[in-house]
Chain A
Amino acid sequence: MINIKNIKKVYKVNKNSFEALSDVSLNIKANTIHGIIGESGAGKSTLIRLINGLEDYQDGSVDVFEYKNIIKLNKESSRMLKKRIGMVYQSFNLLERKTVLENVLMPVSINRKAKISDIKKAKELIALVGLSNFIDKYPNHLSGGQKQRVGIARSLINNPEILLCDEPTSALDPTTIKSVLELIKDIKSKFNITVVIVTHDMYVIKEICDYVTEMEKGKVIENGEVDEVFYHPSQLTTKKLLSSIGLNYELIISNNKHIKNKYILFFEKEIVESSIITDISIKFNTRINILYASITPNEKGIMVVHIKSNVNEILVSLKSLGVVVENV
């Protein structure tokens, strides 16, 4: 769906140049939610703007849909591409002198006169984001979360195949964040679209993403399925980000170096709800001490345990029940 290859992007400010992206490659699969995480200045906002051609690049290529190397597109094709991609912003970017309905219609009405069918569509989208009572209100009358919902409804009016979200929850308070993320997830499954979401918050990745790409100083430093990255983070930065949302079992392991016979257990979604540890504990009459336990975004279980005795028998038994065991 989206194929970014060896992109180099340099900003020139007066005589100084700054490399915003250096040799970035990334493949984003259709129908997934792909998170891009990193600190400010890591290049993630630049990266997401490559996809709809808002940013140019000096080297490499960006392929989106059937378009190859989109920087080479003529103006007309470039506008066609943009119409197939919706965008949601951190600061909402609503037009303050337009009502909610007019804002949602804007991507249509800026290019041609809105038809009755467009207005009907806009009203449906406003209902979908739960703002039917605010249809004639101006953005200044709305809360941050409501503004972002208008932004999301607006991004959908042209039936996009890709939705780009640039820090969509960074200007919102914690309770609103959750509901906006749920809305994005619902929209993804309802309209079968590909979502690319830029964030600095690991919570966003944990809540809704299937894939995650981590950026640092203009480079991709980690990339993969969220579960894979959460289980086996290779970078220190990733581990720090994971600790920020309480998902760092490695920290537990290194804090408990003195304990022998520690194991990491990975539970597939299907067996998460069965009481495997208790069953085995009773069966072998052995205490199993749980040092850490968590559920990943895709509802897989992860646990760090200390097995006091009957180690080999217990491991065999765990493996036979489908638990993946790793000695640490």
Chain B
Amino acid sequence: MFNNLDVDLFIKALQETVFMSAISTIFVGILGLILGVFLYLTSENGMLKNKFAYFILSLITSLGRSIPFLILIVLLIPFTRLILGTILGPSAALPALIIGATPFYGRIVELSLHEKGKDLVETGLSFGATTFNIVLKILIPESLPSLIRGLTVTAITIISYTSIAGAIGAGGLGNLAYLYGYARNKIEVTLVATFLIVLLIIGVQFIGDFTSKKLTKK
């Protein structure tokens, strides 16, 4: 059914999808954590309660989340060309993927920190600790299992974003499914590409669940 060329294409596409997803997830993990921590800290119950700062952060987060991903890619074309010099290939998808998914993870982080936040913060304050140390040594470590679960959901969202990015030239499995499967009418290519994406997502979910469970000291 497939010749060698097709197999090579699938391997290359899979590598590109994994590359885009992995790099974006790392960046989103870090940037989303920072965004989420500040959303939490400046919120009504936070240690740095600040209505104005929270409003601004919240507005940016909501805006980022409400722009459909396809439109975001198009909006970011000038920015991408400016920093990468091209708008084609897996690397060119990174700015859009990172900017699109960071607000998503930021909100998840904010919610995770709120779960046990009040008691943990009070405990930290009663030790005479600084805000920085409370966040770094109590809040984040204690919320880690929940943060990992959130990052898993985010990674899966990023994988589906890569397919959209692929369709307009970023490479990867989405690109393959669209270019060969749809444009050249090879339905079996689309099916295999879909199957590979599903496998990838199941794999990510499994790793996420496993890590989160390991980190919960039950």
Contact = CB atoms under 8 A, between A and B. Distances in A.
Say whether chain B's binding surface is mostly helix, strand, loop, or mixed. helix
Contacts of B134: 110
A93 interface: yes
B184 interface: no
A95 B215 CA distance: 13
Interface string A81-117: 1110101010101011110000000110111000000
B218 A93 contact: no
Contact of B141 (A52, A80, A95, A111): A95
B133 A110 contact: yes
Contacts of B133: 110-111
A111 B129 contact: yes
A76 to B, nearest CB: 10
A111 B128 contact: yes
B123 interface: yes
A106 B127 contact: yes
B119 A54 contact: no
A82 B218 contact: no
Interface residues of B, number: 23
Given A54-B122, A89-B119, A110-B137, A97 B127 contact: no
A140 interface: yes
A79 B144 contact: no
A138 interface: yes
B132 to A, nearest CB: 10
Given A95-B142, A97-B141, A140-B218, A79 B122 contact: no
B138 A110 contact: yes
The winner among B128, B134, B138, B217 for most chain A CB atoms within 10 A is B128
Count class of interface residues, chain A: 20 to 34
Contacts of A54: 122, 125-126
**Most chain A C-beta atoms within 10 Å of own C-beta, residue among B127, B129, B142, B144:** B127
A292 to B, nearest CB: 43
Contact of B127 (A78, A82, A138): A82
B181 interface: no
B130 interface: yes
A145 to B, nearest CB: 19
Contacts of A140: 217-218
A97 B128 contact: no
Contacts of B144: 97
Contacts of B127: 82-83, 106-107, 110-111, 158
B18 interface: no
Contacts of B217: 96-97, 138-140
B126 A82 contact: yes
Given A110-B134, A111-B133, A93 B119 contact: yes
B89 interface: no
A98 B138 CA distance: 10
B122 A97 contact: no
23 contacts: A52-B126, A78-B128, A81-B128, A82-B125, A83-B127, A83-B128, A85-B126, A87-B126, A89-B123, A91-B119, A93-B122, A95-B141, A95-B142, A96-B142, A97-B144, A97-B215, A97-B217, A98-B141, A106-B127, A110-B124, A111-B129, A111-B133, A139-B217
Interface of A: 52, 54, 78-83, 85, 87, 89, 91, 93, 95-98, 106-107, 109-111, 138-140, 158
Given A82-B126, A83-B128, A158-B127, 20 more contacts: A81-B128, A82-B125, A82-B128, A85-B126, A87-B123, A89-B119, A93-B120, A96-B216, A96-B217, A97-B141, A97-B217, A106-B127, A110-B124, A110-B134, A111-B128, A111-B133, A138-B217, A139-B217, A140-B217, A140-B218
